[in-house]
Chain A
């Protein structure tokens, strides 16, 4: 799907680009008033690659992710996505008054309209991330780390082609952090591409590439 902000929102097409390119971002700019947060970001994400997005606080990492997802319209530039998406947001946006099971069953009902859902994959995720005892717990009563795991499960439930993680490991203990990376690595081997906003130094060893946001532009490191 493509949005070219100079040509307007009608210009959306699907499935553009070479087959192994999952996401292409060309000259993406985003300004809030006079403040230019993104200044011509250009990069591509290939099938089965894990890319880290790093940068100082306030450098525009979350803005870039939100522009890629279409939550925030770019001021100019072009985003081409040729993939089904998963998104693990940094924000605390899950419904706090429903249980983990109720949330996941709603998500499954929504996702199975467009994806082939595998019940055993969901069960395995819950089991590996030790979420089974929390199935009937209201989301608002979960600890920070468990809440984070629910967001992670939600983003990969349908095994999307491309997942965007915005600081997904905040609050995870070391054991869960390792399980997280095991799952992400398995997804990568199955062809999923990952773009991950991260500040954690340990994450860097898992990245195939690192994109650094500096003064609004992306440097491929």
Chain B
């Protein structure tokens, strides 16, 4: 295990890095404001059919287009913002942290400090989105909805960081994350789209499916969706393992030769 003062220092410096990232801060406020604002300005109040999938049954609901869109857009926005921040957190100064490891920083201290901040970032993002959404839509179960936002932030955050670890460029993983968030969270997980979809198999295998189902079932029903929670947890855990493996692989040479 790493030592606490160094972990704390890595955590604080990582937090400062995120707070000093002006583009990131602008995105944090601007993206939800723009997307949710456009929904408020354009969506109608006509009821649209919506399906929510539980383990043993499928619940059909009739909700206004505005309500449905606000919740689903919030989910996709959480995913994209989280992917961007984790990209900044894990990719941008990876060479610097390799250098720190060379100088004697324990990789566990680095990873604990970075992952702790990643988790705090996901919590802040999910809490902000839940609170903002709660002002516009009456959420049936606010806490499980928050957990859903937290899990989609975790899944997409881990995806963004993984894409960043596999590329030296910054723009490429941003584009890859935006593309996946667009196809998955912002298109195929749109309840208006998937409710009428012919084949759900592909949609069910995408990373945003379970977190979105958890968010929809918490926002619009009073039932707990254990299957969606479990599925989201499995996705989040799997993405984290992939990310961790890639970080460890990229650190290996340096760790092995760090000075006596």
Contacts and interface: CB of A to CB of B under 8 A. Distances in A.
Interface of A: 1, 3, 9, 12, 14-15, 69-73, 81, 83-85, 87, 89, 91, 93-98, 102, 105-107, 109-111, 113-114, 138, 154, 160
Contacts of A138: 20
A93 B96 contact: yes
A109 B9 contact: yes
23 contacts: A1-B257, A1-B259, A12-B256, A69-B102, A70-B253, A70-B256, A71-B254, A84-B260, A85-B102, A89-B99, A94-B96, A95-B13, A95-B17, A97-B17, A97-B20, A98-B16, A98-B17, A109-B9, A111-B104, A114-B104, A114-B259, A114-B260, A154-B103
**Minimum-distance CB pairs A-B, first 8:** A70-B257, A93-B95, A95-B96, A85-B259, A110-B105, A97-B17, A95-B93, A84-B259
Contacts of B3: 113
Contacts of A94: 96, 99
B142 interface: no
Contacts of B259: 1, 81, 83-85, 114, 160
B6 interface: yes
Given A106-B100, A110-B6, A97 B257 contact: no
Interface of B: 3, 5-6, 9-10, 13, 16-17, 20-21, 93, 95-96, 98-100, 102-105, 253-254, 256-257, 259-260
B interface, over-half SS: helix
B103 A107 contact: yes
B256 A106 contact: no
Given A1-B259, A14-B260, A96-B93, 8 more contacts: A70-B256, A93-B98, A97-B16, A106-B100, A109-B9, A110-B100, A110-B105, A113-B3
A107 B103 CA distance: 8
Contacts of B6: 109-110, 113
A93 to B, nearest CB: 4
Contacts of A69: 102, 257
Given A72-B253, A97-B20, A110-B105, A1 B260 contact: yes
B171 to A, nearest CB: 17
Contacts of B10: 106
A87 B102 contact: yes
B253 A111 contact: no
